[in-house]
Chain A
Amino acid sequence: MVGLLTAAVVSGSDALRLRGAGIADPVAGENADANIQQLANSIFSDYVFAFEITSVLLVVAVVGTVLLARRRTGKGMA
């Protein structure tokens, strides 16, 4: 596993050095947004469907946990 991780780190660094050199810095443009604004644009436009799906996932997780961990007391409760 250590060998695999070392190979992954070395290959990832090489790939970044080869490919990342030619890409311009997005902050350097004239109408460049700040980091948080770029992130908000990305999440709420490109990934808005995934964002909605995560809300459904959180609701399902909370409901399931309450059903699992609720103390079963009294009658009339499942």
Chain B
Amino acid sequence: MMFGLVVVPTPTWYLVLSAVLFSIGAVGVLVRRNPLVMFMCIELMLNAVNLTFVTVGRAMSDIDGQAIVFFVMVVAAAEVVVGLGIIVSIMRRRSGVNVDDLSELKG
């Protein structure tokens, strides 16, 4: 290190980073109206949860924390694939995509 200072990261640092990433994702989903940006923010939230899983699994010396990250990634990939397909089919019949304009299916 520059000042001869060795900083050892603790699991608390990773938990704080995960909370910050999740906050950015949640605020992005609530604020932005572009569905692509909303998808990226959803991915940000999912990966913040992945970071929490790996951190807790490492601290508890358990491999299941890393095993479940694989399944979370697979589910996230399937979700993004279906969501992008829906966005493409919406873009075909509309000029632009704005989430507030998609009000045909209001229940």
Contacts and interface: CB of A to CB of B under 8 A. Distances in A.
Given A23-B60, A42-B64, A57-B75, A1 B23 contact: yes
Nearest to A26: B61
Nearest to A6: B19
B60 A20 contact: yes
Contacts of A13: 10-12, 15
Nearest to A58: B78
Interface residues of B, number: 32
Interface of A: 1-2, 5-6, 8-9, 12-13, 16, 19-20, 23-26, 35, 38-39, 41-43, 46-47, 50, 54, 57-58, 60-62, 64-66, 68-69
Interface of B: 10-12, 15-16, 19, 22-23, 26, 52, 56, 59-61, 63-64, 66-67, 70-71, 74-75, 77-79, 81-82, 84-86, 88-89
